[in-house]
Structure 1
Amino acid sequence: MPGIDGAELAELFGRRLALDGTPILLEREMCPVEPVSSWFRHLALMGRSAKTMRKYAYVALRLSEFLAQAGTDVVSATETDLLEYRALRTREQPEPVAKTTWEAEATAINRLYAWLVAEGYLLARPWRSDGGRDSLRNGVTQDLRVRHMTLDQYRYFRDVGLAGQLPDGAVDRSFRGRFPHRSRAGVELGLLTGMRLGEWSTLLLPELGFDVSPAAGRLRDGVEIQLEACAKFGRPRMVYAPRSALELVRTYMLLERRHIVTAAQATLARRRSELFVVDADQDGRGQLRGVLDGRRVTRSIRHMPPELRKVTVMDTGDRLEPLAVFVGPGGTMPHPSTWDKIRWRAWERMRLHATDSAAPVMPSHPWLFHDLRHTFALQLLRFLMRKAAQDGAASDLPMSTLADHIAYNPLLEVQRRLGHASPATTYIYLRYLKDPMREVDEAFAEWSAHEEATYAEIGQHLLTSGGKNSGGEVGGDASQR
Structure 2
Amino acid sequence: MDLYFVKRPLVKRYGDELAGSTAVALLDRQVIPDGTPIVLGADMRPVEPMSSWFRHLAYLGRVPETMRSYAYVVLRLAEYLASRQTDLLAAGEVDLLAYRRQRLDAQAMPIDPVTWDREASTVNGLFAWLTEAGHRPSGPLRMPKAYGSGMSHGMQVRHLALDQYLFFRDVGLGGQGPDGEVDVVFRGGFPHRNRAGAELALMTGMRKREWSTVLEPELVRRPEGPGEFGLQACAKGGRRRKVYVPAAPLDLVDTYRLLERAEIVERAAARLARRHRELFVVDDIDGLGRLSGVLEGRRRTFAMARMPAELRRITVSECAGGLEAMAVFLGQGGLMLGPSSWDRIRRLAWERMSAFAERGPAPVLPRRPWRFHDLRHTFALRLLKHLTQMLIEAELRRADPRPLVTLAEHISMNPLLVVQRALGHASPRTTYEYLAYLEDPMTYVDQAFRAWSDSDGASYSDIAVWLLEGERNAQEG
Query: Could you tell me the TM-score, scaled by structure 1's length?
Result: 0.82
**In the alignment, what sits opposite 1:426?**
431
**In the alignment, what sits opposite 2:76?**
62
User: Structure 1 counterpart of 2:348, which letter?
Assistant: R
Q: 1:185 to 1:122 in 2, by over 3 A?
A: same
Match of 1:382 among 382, 385, 390: 385
Cα distance in 1 for partners of 2:356, 2:448 equals 32
Q: 1:97 to 1:203 in 2, by over 3 A?
A: same
Residues 284-334 of structure 1 show CA distances to partners (whole Å, capped at 9, x for unaligned) of 322111111222211221222222212111014553121010112121122
What is the aligned-residue identity percentage? 54
User: Structure 2 counterpart of 1:273, which letter?
Assistant: R
**In the alignment, what sits opposite 2:268?**
264
Q: 1:84 to 1:12 in 2, by over 3 A?
A: farther
Match of 1:189 among 186, 196, 200: 200
**In the alignment, what sits opposite 1:458?**
457
Cα distance in 2 for partners of 1:30, 1:356 equals 53
Relative to structure 2, which stretch is displaced further, 89-98 or 152-161?
89-98
Match of 1:410 among 411, 415, 428: 415
Residues 343-364 of structure 1 show CA distances to partners (whole Å, capped at 9, x for unaligned) of 2333333344447887433334
Q: 1:58 to 1:438 in 2, by over 3 A?
A: same
Instruction: Give the match's secondary structure for 1:288.
Output: strand
> Is the CA contact 2:270–2:323 (under 8 Å) kept in the aligned structure 1?
no
Instruction: Tell me whether 1:291 sits opposite 2:290 in the alignment.
Output: no
Residues 44-101 of structure 1 show CA distances to partners (whole Å, capped at 9, x for unaligned) of 1111111221222223223333444545432343334433433444444444443333
Q: 1:339 to 1:69 in 2, by over 3 A?
A: closer
Cα distance in 1 for partners of 2:358, 2:69 equals 40
Deviation at 1:241, TM superposition (A): 0.6
Q: 1:219 to 1:87 in 2, by over 3 A?
A: same
**In the alignment, what sits opposite 1:305?**
308
Residues 133-156 of structure 1 show CA distances to partners (whole Å, capped at 9, x for unaligned) of 734334335422212122222222
Cα distance in 2 for partners of 1:306, 1:360 equals 35
**In the alignment, what sits opposite 2:253?**
249
Cα distance in 2 for partners of 1:427, 1:34 equals 42
Q: 1:85 to 1:172 in 2, by over 3 A?
A: closer
Cα distance in 2 for partners of 1:445, 1:151 equals 28
**In the alignment, what sits opposite 2:376?**
373
Cα distance in 2 for partners of 1:317, 1:457 equals 80
Cα distance in 1 for partners of 2:128, 2:347 equals 40
Instruction: Give the match's secondary structure for 2:457.
Output: helix
Instruction: Tell me whether 1:393 sits opposite 2:396 in the alignment.
Output: yes
Q: 1:354 to 1:66 in 2, by over 3 A?
A: closer
Deviation at 1:413, TM superposition (A): 0.9
**In the alignment, what sits opposite 1:233?**
237
Deviation at 1:224, TM superposition (A): 1.9
Cα distance in 2 for partners of 1:81, 1:354 equals 45
Match of 1:435 among 432, 440, 455: 440
**In the alignment, what sits opposite 2:115?**
101
Instruction: Tell me whether 1:125 sits opposite 2:146 in the alignment.
Output: no
Residues 338-394 of structure 1 show CA distances to partners (whole Å, capped at 9, x for unaligned) of 222322333333344447887433334332211111111111001111111112222
Structure having the higher Rg? 1
Q: 1:175 to 1:404 in 2, by over 3 A?
A: same
Deviation at 1:417, TM superposition (A): 0.7
**In the alignment, what sits opposite 1:113?**
127
Match of 1:47 among 45, 61, 86: 61
Stretches of structure 1 that go unaligned for 5 or more consecutive residues are 211-217, 463-481
Instruction: Tell me whether 1:155 sits opposite 2:166 in the alignment.
Output: yes
Cα distance in 1 for partners of 2:285, 2:262 equals 21
Residues 378-413 of structure 1 show CA distances to partners (whole Å, capped at 9, x for unaligned) of 110011111111122222221233443333211111
Deviation at 1:10, TM superposition (A): 4.4
> Is the CA contact 1:89–1:102 (under 8 Å) kept in the aligned structure 2?
yes
- What RMSD over aligned residues (CA atoms) do the two structures have, in Å? 3.1
Instruction: Tell me whether 1:360 sits opposite 2:363 in the alignment.
Output: yes
User: Structure 2 counterpart of 1:389, which letter?
Assistant: I
Deviation at 1:11, TM superposition (A): 9.9
Q: 1:111 to 1:349 in 2, by over 3 A?
A: closer
> Is the CA contact 1:415–1:426 (under 8 Å) kept in the aligned structure 2?
yes
Q: 1:221 to 1:458 in 2, by over 3 A?
A: same
> Is the CA contact 2:269–2:322 (under 8 Å) kept in the aligned structure 1?
yes
Q: 1:438 to 1:345 in 2, by over 3 A?
A: farther
Q: 1:428 to 1:284 in 2, by over 3 A?
A: same
Aligned length: 440
Residues 108-165 of structure 1 show CA distances to partners (whole Å, capped at 9, x for unaligned) of 1221222223323345423223xxx734334335422212122222222222332233
User: Structure 1 counterpart of 2:64, which letter?
Assistant: A
**In the alignment, what sits opposite 2:470?**
none
Cα distance in 1 for partners of 2:224, 2:323 equals 25
Query: Could you tell me the TM-score, scaled by structure 2's length?
Result: 0.82
Cα distance in 1 for partners of 2:451, 2:177 equals 37
User: Structure 2 counterpart of 1:193, which letter?
Assistant: T
Q: 1:410 to 1:32 in 2, by over 3 A?
A: same
Relative to structure 2, which stretch is displaced further, 7-16 or 224-233?
7-16
Stretches of structure 2 that go unaligned for 5 or more consecutive residues are 1-14, 461-477
Cα distance in 1 for partners of 2:104, 2:181 equals 51
Instruction: Give the match's secondary structure for 1:55.
Output: helix
Cα distance in 2 for partners of 1:12, 1:259 equals 38
